[in-house]
Every structure is written in C-alpha cells, then in structure tokens.
Amino acid sequence: MNFKIFFLILGFIFFITCSENGSSNTNSTDIEIMPYYGTYLYQDKQCSGSDIQYTIIDENGISFFDFLGDNCDDTVECYSVQTFDLMEMSSDTLLIMADEESDVTNGIVYIASDSLIIVSYDSNNGTAEYHWEKIKDEIYSFTPICDQEYQNTKDIADILVYAVSDNGYLLWKNYLHGGIWDLGSAITTTQDGGYLIIGELGAIEWGGCCYTHDSDTRDIIKLNNQGIIEWKKEITYSNYGVSDYHLPISISLFKTTQGDLVFLAPVGSRIGVNIIMMNQEGELIWSKEYPEFYGTEITENASGQLVLLGWSGSTKLLKILDNTNGDIISEKEYPGLFYPIAATSAGQDLVVTGFIKRIDSLNYSPTFLLKIDDQGNEIWRKIWDQETEISRGPLDVIETNDGGFLIFCQTDPPPYATLIKTDSEGNEEWRKKYDDYVGGGKGWIHHTDDGGFFMASGYAVTKLDPNGLVEWQAACSSCFPKYFNNGKVTGANYDMRPIEGGAVMVGYGSASWE
C-alpha cells in the first residue's frame, strides 16, 4: 500500500462523501447545543496516518464513522458506523453507554479542549486511547453506510507462516490476520503433521513488530499441513494483569519427548519468566514463575527433565526442573560466563552458547561455547576473546555429523551472519561469513538430509552444502522480500523449525507488501 496518497484520499473523501447535516434538529431551540457538539477527525498514529475515521457528537450521543476503503482497512468503499448514548459525568467527561454485546468497556469521552476530545476504553493491552480533532461545529453525515458488518478490517502486518523445501521451492504460505499488527513469535510441528503457532493477534508496534502489555494471555493457532487454520484459541497462564512495559510475546518453544509443548513468557512489570506447559490442543497443563530470572532458552536433557537457561545478574545460569510441575531440582553456576542464548543436545550431554561480560580491553562481548552433562556439570568451555571483528553474539548452535559444533553468530561489519565450525572439543576449525543482515537479532540452523544445512534469520533463508558453501539464498539486505524458485514471501522471520525435506518459518508480514 502507498501511504503517500493518504492526503489525496482524505481530501477526496471529505469533499465528496461528507455533507453538512441540514436536519432541523441541530437548530431546534428545544435542544441545548453543547460546545463539544460537532464533527471530529481521528488523529491516526497506529496505521501510519492512513486510517480515515470521523466521529460526531450531538443530542443523540456519539457516532463513529470508519471509512473501510482507506489504506488501513482496504476492504470496501463504505463507512461502518457505531452509535452510543452518552452520560455527562462532569463538565469535561462523558461516559459512553455501551451494551453488553459491545467491545467497548469503561468507555470515556474526555473534552480536552475546544478542538480536541480523547476517547478511551479498556482492552487486553490496557487502556486504549484515541485523539480526535474537531473539524466543524456542524454535524456532518457520511455516505455510503455499509450494509453489513465487517470484522477486523484494520491491517498493517499479519502473521506470516510459510514452508520451504531444501531445494528452494515455496511449499505453501499464509498470512493470518487478526488486528492492525499481528505476530507469530514461535512455531512447532504437531503429531498430526500440522503446526502450532504462539503469537499475538492485535499486538503493539513499538519501534518494530511486535509487543504486548498483556502479561497473562497468548494466542494459539493450529494449522494443518498446508498452513490452513484449523482452530484458534487463547491460553491464560497467569493473573498479573496489564503491564506498564512492552513485553515480548514469547521466548523459545519446543516439544518434549512426551509430546507436550513448552514456551517462555515474561511475567509483567518485574524481572522474571514464566514457563508454560500445554498439550497439543492448547490446553494448559501447568505454568510457573521464576522471579529475578530472565529466561532465554528452555530445552530437555537426556533424563527427560526440563533445562531452563537464562540470566539472573549472577553466574547462576541454569536450572534443572521437574517436567511434571516445574519445581527446581538443582541450579548451576558458571563463573566467568554471563548470558546463555541457545543449546543443543550432544549425545547424553548439552552444549550451550552465549556471551560473557564485555572485557574493558575489548569493544565486544566475547562468545562462549560450554559443554555440560545432563545435570549441568561443566565438561569444558571455549571463549572467543581474540576476535578481529566485533562480535554481536551467537544466535544458535548445533552438533555436526563429525561430532563437532556449528555456531551461528553475528559479527560486525555487515553482512552480519557468520558460522564458526569447531571440533568436538570446541576448537575452531573454520568460519564463513554470508550475505545475510540477520534482522531482529534472530537466527536458526539445522541439518538437511543431504548433509548440508538450512540457515534462516529475520531477513534471509539460506541453504548450505556440507562445507558451508551457499547452494541458494532468498535474502534481502535490511528488507522483507524473500524470493524462492516459484514465488516469494514478504516479511520478517521470528522462528524456524525443520520439517521433512525443508523448514517452516513464522513471523510477520503482509500480502499487501508484495
């Protein structure tokens, strides 16, 4: 969509479809004309200025007119309308009298000045607040009025989900719409061959997509094997209420050996993390808070126990948990290490990558590789503190077929994507840099059936041969389009999972960006 034509559209709509209401009601001496009566234009900040909405306030209450043909709604050339009675609470505050079927709760109209009203109401993300500027004292009418109701018309970014084969063909794609900003933050496969997404429909844009103020609930979307929605539901796992902070949607998601699903979510207005375990029907099994601990990764050890990695302001970076209730079995400290990012299994052991605190003599935080047994006892560690390029930290790690390890990390100057190959003791064997600007600080890598690797980041999808050489790539430097052999997607990746013969990705994007 071309947001630059917004003002042309606005002018056309205003002069062609808006007319002064000549009804004698507005001139009747029997009706008191209040100073806030008139016609107002919405000051849009959510849809890049393209959302055309008006409201009128008169003796009949307040009516909201939303033009569904603008670049925010892009649905049909008509106005939807909602009308509510008003009750005066004070000289500058009016209560919106909404019925039980309305999505407006605790609605208030605040008369901020002679030319500005502020409309607010409660939502899952706290109090929603909208500013309206008075454009006329007269009451305007708006035509044509829509002859049916349209749901969820406002849209900038949708959940993007798509699958790609190892040979570079787009298997399927889908854009899932729910609000102005939607995000799929994590995805996993299900036992029936489909997929399950953790995300947020109607999220918040805050310097990028996407966040929420909701501390307690996340959206779950079940897809079939072609990415078609089978069901959607919400999972509620806590009762912290609305947070003052912009919270990430979820952190990490994995399927246990017993088939249950586990993900991490922040706790709200304080430091801590929630672990949420659910079944593949999206039903909560248990959730547990770990205060003063910023969780970064959760996985499973060879004994079937949960392993929670994260940062606590100390060197206590790992917790072994009972998978039936989340109770802490043991905790481990690793002096000299600081912030774990990702982990992978290595036989009965685990290998963790992350970074240590910045050393005074360096302009970067060195990457570490740590091998531990299934109870978290350290076997060996390696630290990269002699780098010629600035290290921006690791993103993922896997064990290679020869018993070594492959670290997917970022180095500066751009392009940022770098692979470091080590032997089984963590000693570096080679490194390669790729034309991948990463995007969002997220990246993943896994094995392919031909002995190569499938690598993805926010901006790129890349297939590598067993030696780390590029076979094909769908990438764009700091932009969204990704071109495959038979089509493209437009958006940013937030998670990747291997599937048979390829990979599935989820994030945010829009068909309109194509």
pLDDT digits 0-9 by tens, 419-438: 999 999 999 999 999 999 99
Torsion angle of alpha carbons 443, 448, 453, 457, nearest 10°? -20
**Is residue 82 domain-resident?**
yes
Tokens of 352: 């963790």
Residues 136 and 261 in one domain: no
Looking at the fold, whether 124 and 32 belong to one and the same domain comes out as yes
pTM listed for this prediction: 0.88
445 in any annotated domain = no
Q: Which residue has the higher pLDDT, 211 or 269?
A: 211
Is residue 395 situated within a structural domain? Answer: yes
Q: Where a domain ends, among 142, 165, 200? A: 142
| pLDDT tens column, 245-269 | 999 999 989 999 999 999 999 998 7
Q: Are residues 313 and 266 in the same domain?
A: no
**What total number of domains does the chain contain?**
3
pLDDT for 345 equals 97
Provide CB contacts within 8 A for 435, sequence distance 6+: 415, 417, 460, 473, 475, 477
- The answer to the question of residue 298 being in a domain is yes
Indicate which CATH number applies to the domain containing 399. 2.120.10.30
- Residue 183 and residue 284 in one domain: yes
Domain end: 105, 120, 142, which one? 142
Q: Can you read off the two tokens belonging to residue 367? A: 């990457």
Tell me the residue ranges of DSSP E strands in 224-280.
Answer: 229-236, 242-247, 251-255, 261-266, 272-278
* Whether residues 273 and 305 fall in one domain: no
Cα(174)–Cα(509) distance, rounded to whole angstroms? Answer: 10
Do 297 and 429 fall within a single domain? yes
| Collapsed DSSP state (helix, strand, coil) of residue 11 | helix
Rounded to an integer, the average pLDDT of 112-129 is 90
Q: Does any domain span residue 502?
A: yes
pLDDT of res. 123: 79
**pLDDT value, residue 3:** 37
Q: Which of 108-112, 238-242, 313-317, 436-440 has the highest mean pLDDT?
A: 108-112
Q: What is the mean pLDDT of the chain?
A: 92
**pLDDT interval class at 27 (50, 70, 90):** very low
C-alpha–C-alpha distance, residues 77 and 481, integer Å: 29
How many of the other CB atoms lie within 10 Å of CB of 235?
18
Percent of the chain with pLDDT over 90: 82
Residue-number span of the structural domain to which 67 is assigned: 3-142
The enclosing domain of 49 has a CATH number of: 2.40.128
Same domain, 7 and 130: yes
Query: Residue 472: inside a domain, yes or no?
Result: no
Determine the Cα–Cα distance for residues 61 and 327; give it in Å rounded to an integer. Answer: 55
Q: Say whether both 162 and 285 belong to one domain.
A: yes
- Does residue 449 lie within any of the structural domains? no
Indicate whether 30 belongs to any domain: yes
Q: Do 276 and 342 sit in the same domain of this protein?
A: no
pLDDT value at position 18?
52
H-helix or E-strand containing 14?
A: helix 6-17
Residue range 466-482: mean pLDDT, rounded: 93
Let me know whether 120 and 161 are in one domain: no
The reply to whether 44 and 72 lie within a common domain is: yes
Chain Cα centroid distance, residue 480: 15
If asked whether residues 74 and 138 sit together in one domain, one would say yes
Question: Given 87, 113, 142, which residue is the final one in a domain?
Answer: 142
